Amino acid sequence: MKQWQSLSLDRKLRLIILGTILMALVLSQAMNIFTVIHGYRQEFKQRLEGTSKLLAAASVAALDFNDPQAANENLASLKLMPEITGAAIYRADGSLFASLGTAPEHHQHMGTVMTMTDCEIHRPILSDSEPAGELVIHASLEGQWNIVASDAILSLTTLVGIFLLSSFVGSLLRRRMLAPLKEITTVVSDISQSQDYSRRVQHHSSDEIGTLVNEFNAMLDEIGKRDQWLQSHQEVLEETVKRRTKMLSEKKQELQTRNMQLQVEIREREKAEMIREEVERLSRHDLKSSLTLVIGYPELLLGTEGLTEEQRRYIKRIESAGYRMLDMIRNHLDMFKMEKGIYSLSNNYLDMVELLCALEEEFAPLLNSTQVTLDMSLDGKNISGIEEFSILGDDTLIRAMIRNLIQNAVEASDKGETVSVYLRSGVRKRLTIQNPGEVPKEIQPRFFEKYTTQGKEHGTGLGTYFAALVAQTHRASIAMKTDPKNGTSVTVTFAE
């Protein structure tokens, strides 16, 4: 198939014409041979059947008078037909009466049997309409092939002459048909080399090839017009490209300058970040040293006697505030480790109901001062404190994350409003903290980014950022939704 596709149109047409002529001649010769063989066989059959009929009639008397010699004389007349290879006369009982050459076999089926090479006739011999015997003649059909051979020489000579004449006529027609196509090929080749679109193909006819030539010439006219238009605009395009190249070069130099300035700023910021981290580390160390006294003295006071229950409650709150402050300092260190990806989780099963109840007591002063209500539920039912809702996580980080989210929700709520905490079971357990306020549109896209805060007098912008870090470290997801109607909800979906 690939070889056929690579052939030129001239060779393809030549092969098609020659193949068609050759196929027609072969079929014609085959039909001629079939006709010759069929005619010979029919004529031979008729001749042999006529001879057998005469010979059977002549052999009746020999059988009646039991004269084998007379029968052999009758069979000897068949020698005049060289195609006959054997003949025999059988009695009615099937015994051989007379024969010529190789006696053919006797059987009960009468008639003529012809194969590709032989012909055999079985004819009954009747005496007064009664079977007296059987005549069998066997002949060879080799003569048909001799006729075919002698006829083939004449036929082959005729076929060769017809083939040559047809090839010559087909070649003339082929050249006449392909002449305009070859001229189109030549013009296309010249145009591709010289880019001269003024060349045209000279051919006039009303057939398909004439239409093809006219359309080709029209296409060359259109291409020539477009080439002139392109040449007329080439200078403008070159000037435009030159100007744009100069602008790109200037922009490249400007970008290189800005890149150098940016690298300097990055180095300065990295240096400032290192200084800030060092200052924070020293500050955390100094604060932890000072908090030792803040936490230690309440423990000593609680060990003394004579304190009222109200005094003990205030002292415990001071102690809790000290521990909370210590946790905040530790959270800054943990946040640094989570940012660097070096924090090592200490996972345990945590009871979220117990944790929320503890935080509710811890937030009691803030809730009282702001007159905000904290409502907590598990799968749609209010929490009484005896339920159980366990997750796998780091107790310190999970506690700090929920504390930050609840504190943000309380601080963002107005007097008399309610902050709701929902726990939901499922394949992946979820915690949702909701408050009626809406997050300002200015900070919604960067709600979980570092130092994002607005409207809080002492806000650091680290609460939601820390919560996102904790969720990421636990391979949990955290998301925020806010709108004027439903307020703001932050949902943490824990890993399975």
Residue 291 confidence class, pLDDT cut points 50, 70, 90: low
Note the pLDDT of residue 99. 87
Q: What is the CATH number of the domain that holds 466?
A: 3.30.565.10
Which region among 109-118, 218-227, 478-487 has the lowest average model confidence (pLDDT)? Answer: 218-227
- Tell which wins on pLDDT, 357 or 215: 357
- Tell which wins on pLDDT, 379 or 327: 379
* Max mean pLDDT range (36-45, 178-187, 379-388): 379-388
* Max mean pLDDT range (81-85, 294-298, 414-418): 414-418
Evaluate whether 135 touches 74 at the Cβ level (below 8 Å): no
Tell me which residue of 362, 276, 290, 273 sits closest to 326, measured CA to CA: 290
Enumerate helices (H) and strands (E) in the chain, giving the number of each. Answer: 11, 13
User: Is 388 contained in some domain?
Assistant: yes
Note the pLDDT of residue 10. 63
Is the pTM of the predicted complex or chain greater than 0.75? no
User: Is 304 contained in some domain?
Assistant: no
As a whole number of angstroms, the distance between CA 64 and CA 193 comes to 104
Q: What average pLDDT is seen over the chain? A: 79
Residue 292 has pLDDT above 70, yes or no: no
Note the pLDDT of residue 286. 55
User: Is 322 contained in some domain?
Assistant: no
Note the pLDDT of residue 432. 95
- Of the three residues 123, 144, 165, the one that is the final residue of a domain is 165
Q: What is the CATH number of the domain that holds 93?
A: 3.30.450.20
As a whole number of angstroms, the distance between CA 434 and CA 419 comes to 6
Evaluate whether 41 touches 144 at the Cβ level (below 8 Å): yes
Residues in CB range of 192: below 8 A, 6 or more apart = none
User: Is 89 contained in some domain?
Assistant: yes
User: Is 290 contained in some domain?
Assistant: no
User: Is 138 contained in some domain?
Assistant: yes
- Of the three residues 138, 165, 192, the one that is the final residue of a domain is 165
As a whole number of angstroms, the distance between CA 291 and CA 323 comes to 8
Residue 434 confidence class, pLDDT cut points 50, 70, 90: very high
Note the pLDDT of residue 81. 84
As a whole number of angstroms, the distance between CA 419 and CA 429 comes to 20
pLDDT above 90 coverage of the chain, percent: 11
Number of domains in the chain: 2
User: Is 229 contained in some domain?
Assistant: no
Note the pLDDT of residue 418. 93
Note the pLDDT of residue 330. 64
Evaluate whether 480 touches 443 at the Cβ level (below 8 Å): no
* Max mean pLDDT range (73-87, 119-133, 414-428): 414-428
Residues 229-240 have a mean pLDDT of 77
Note the pLDDT of residue 245. 86
Note the pLDDT of residue 481. 93
Residues 186-208 have a mean pLDDT of 67
- Tell which wins on pLDDT, 288 or 145: 145
Q: What's the domain range around 58?
A: 2-165
- Tell which wins on pLDDT, 364 or 297: 364
User: Is 391 contained in some domain?
Assistant: yes
- Of the three residues 165, 186, 219, the one that is the final residue of a domain is 165
DSSP 477-494: EEEEEEETTTEEEEEEE-
